[in-house]
Amino acid sequence: MNLLIDDWKIIQDGFSKQKNRFFESIMSSGNGRMGLRGNHEEDYSGDTLKGTYIAGVYYPDKTRVGWWKIGYPEYFAKVLNAIDFIGIKVKINGENIDLATCRFSDYRRELDMKESVLRRNFTFFDPSGSKYEIKTERFLSYHESDIAAIKYSIKALNNDGELELLPFLNGDVRNEDANYQEKFWEYVSSSATESVSYLHMKTLKTNYNVSAAFTWNITGTDTLEKETVNLNNGEFVGTRIKVNIPEGRTVTLEKYISVTSDRYYETNEISKISQRKAQEALDKGYNSLFDAHKGKWADIWSMSDITIIGDAAAQQGIRFNIYQLNCTYSGDDPQLNIGPKGFTGEKYGGGTYWDTEAYCLYFYLGTRKPEIARNLLEYRYNHLEKAKENSAKLGTRGALYPMVTMNGEECHNEWEITFEEIHRNCAITYAIKNYTEYTNDESYLLEKGIDVFVETSRYWVSRVNYNSKKNVYMILGVTGPNEYENNVNNNWYTNRMVKWSLKYTVDTLKIMEENHKPLYKEAIDRLGISPDETEKFKEISEKMYLPEDKELGIFLQQDGFLDKDIKPADLLKPSDLPLNQNWSWDRILRSCYIKQADVLQGLWFLNDEFTKEEKIRNFKFYEPLTVHESSLSPCVHSILAAEAGYREKAYEHYLRTARLDLDNYNNDTDDGLHITSMAGTWMTIVSGFAGLRIKKGKLHLNPFKPESWKEYSFCLVFRDRIIKITVCDTDITINLEKGDPFDITLYEENVTVREGRNQYRR
């Protein structure tokens, strides 16, 4: 059983029960509104993680701890495994097709990322020796986000046969992480006729209503018996179809599914709508639906593809990451966001983390229309009042955005994260800055972003401690990005980002006062800002304490970091890694080892505020201590290594992030993919190898090419332009495919890029 290397496909050649979950994960797909793990359509009684997910549908699982503290989140959110709509029970000559128990050969499964379609084929043997070739194909439509379609074909190779096919909907599903097999859904209604079936389920507590319906069509046979099936008190509905299949003939079942929820339709209408849409899909037919779907993906790839010549593994890795990001978030709904596992598993509950602003926004800014990225900012603005409530629960003022959320409320259940990893506020301010500078669209910042700035600044004012002896402000009792350090004082990254955030708020207010007086007055009145308050923002920013070691010339991750026994991670025994699976938490906290970029994260975010020498000194100190047991870590190290001139090290970290899931680096692909860190893969090429920066509203490029690559290219969507940049041994080619001419700084020199192909010597 092998995972094959291919430019556009993820290919499983052969079957392995032991690796079934791994392949279910990497064969996942989605369309922004719903998603599926790569589960089999027919029964599978072996080890499997069934996964069907509907965007925005979750369950608030009550937090239960014996040491409840004021401000502790009331629940932990869970993304829910929803109605199983891909299921088709298959019997051939009376034997149930179950790849965990039946005899078969020549198994192959392919995820075609270019067209976003999952295909499988294998040969089944019945006990008498009759052989049947089975081929399946399915897609979740990107053109019609409520629609999915499946094509299931059986060919009789050496004998006639009798088939029994039962396409179904099953609402009796569980989350694997549920306590005591707890069920999160309740039955509402269902119906099965010979032509269409539907099932309407509702979540407990949150009362989300989801209806799935399917229609079907069968070809390749003249003999047809059919009967409706309604089992398990209505939670299992479908149609049993019996046909004869002559030797050499192929029978194909097409299943057309519509999934609707009351997030987009009236509750009392969703069942009718799902049935109507399923019927309309049948009327259009598989090929018509698939052509429209492929057209949408062609548009996506035309703006987001990265090509690599000379390294097939790297090419497959980057396309896999780009593909999964677009499966997870389509950007048309500001109520949705990006979970760390997307539609590929249950881990992390499916909530929104700071990953969105720190990593994902770059990707969507650079590869999609600006409205897509703006909707990520709208999501946070819409949750501002909840963020203020979260802060009030902790006894502070202003707004503290949650570490993890579904609806703006904090729903993370680890105290050292919930209470202490407060740097997440700054990532949101930083994202607004990035969006504004990249798009040159100030409307969000001036009309909504300023509210976020002021309220988060008010939180910082109430959270800092003033040290009168040193005349500095400190931030005590925090967890930085490195979660292998808890409850530390003066985490450099947190303090430095707060310093920047407060200053950026003051600077924005000043710009509004000078250049946008009506909006400034509205903001002052709406937010009740006084001159004394803005002076306080400024004072804290100017007097923020930043730990450093002048002798080493480094910024200290936190007070006392050098009191640890500093030993590079390469001295660890292989049996120690990963630390979080082999060491006690006490031992980890006392060690010098770093889970992910911390100080280096700040050097990347505030890149222009540090000299190259400062970046190099800190990189050389902290990189050897980092074990990268967060998927978010390698990309930041790759970008800074590239900037520092450590090209081999930059490439090493790129490979780790690009193929993190495909090569199962952290031995955890089985439970789902690392969606948010996938955006970091895009960043390593565009911001790392190509050196892309935005400075004073202008694109800057400083590209190099990894030695093993012949060339690479990527597209940028930038201010109504589509730009393709190609880097090879001797030349940089900038092709302006759409939009007006513009100036760019290339290797510190200004060049004017005009329509068509512009070639420059390296």
- Torsion-angle region of 71 (φ positive above 0: left; ψ -120 to 50: alpha; else: beta): left
Q: Measuring CA to CA, how many Å separate 10 from each of 113, 116, 321, 662, 716?
A: 8, 11, 12, 9, 25
Q: CA of 242: how far to CAs of 121, 236, 503, in Å?
A: 22, 19, 71
Alpha-carbon Rg for the chain, nearest whole angstrom, is: 27
Contact 390, 335 (CB under 8 A): no
Reported as type and span, the H/E element at residue 226 is strand 225-231
* Residue whose structure tokens are 């506020």: 425
Distance of alpha carbon 359 from alpha carbon 256, whole angstroms: 36
Beta pairing class for 698-701 and 742-746: parallel
> CA 49, 55, 61, 63 torsion: positive or negative?
positive
Determine which one of 483, 485, 623, 643 is catalytic. 483
CB of 24 closer than 8 Å to CB of 38: yes
**Separation of alpha carbons 320 and 306, rounded Å:** 11
CA distance 81 to 44: 17
Q: 503-509, long-range: CB within 8 Å, 24+ apart, which pairs?
A: 503/537, 503/538, 503/541, 504/429, 504/433, 504/453, 505/429, 505/450, 505/453, 505/454, 505/456, 505/457, 505/537, 506/534, 506/537, 506/538, 506/541, 508/445, 508/449, 508/450, 508/453, 509/450, 509/534
d(CA 551, CA 542): 23
**Which among 608, 605, 615, 603 is positioned nearest to 695, based on CA atoms?**
608
Half-sphere exposure of 442 (CA within 13 A, CB side): 9
Beta bridge partners, 58, equal 79
Rounded to the nearest 5 degrees, what angle is found at the Cα of 350, between the Cα atoms of 344 and 665? 50
For residues 755 and 736, the answer to whether their CB atoms sit within 8 Å is: yes
Asked whether the beta carbons of 640 and 309 are under 8 A apart, the reply is no
Q: Element (H or E) spanning 155, and its range? A: strand 147-156
Tokens 């959270």 appear where? 463
Interaxial angle between packed helices 450-463 and 517-527, expressed in degrees from 0 to 180 and rounded to the nearest 10: 40
Contact 452, 436 (CB under 8 A): no
| DSSP code of residue 146 | T
Instruction: Judge contact between 599 and 480, C-beta under 8 A.
Output: no
From 135, 91, 130, select the one nearest 243 (Cα to Cα).
91
The tokens for 321 are: 């990451």
Nearest to 210 by CA among 18, 81, 105: 81
What gap in Å lies between CA 36 and CA 34, rounded to an integer? 7
CB 493 within 8 A of CB 465: no
Whether residue 483 lies in the annotated active site: yes
C-alpha to C-alpha distance for 243 and 226, rounded to whole angstroms: 9
- The catalytic site residues sit at 483
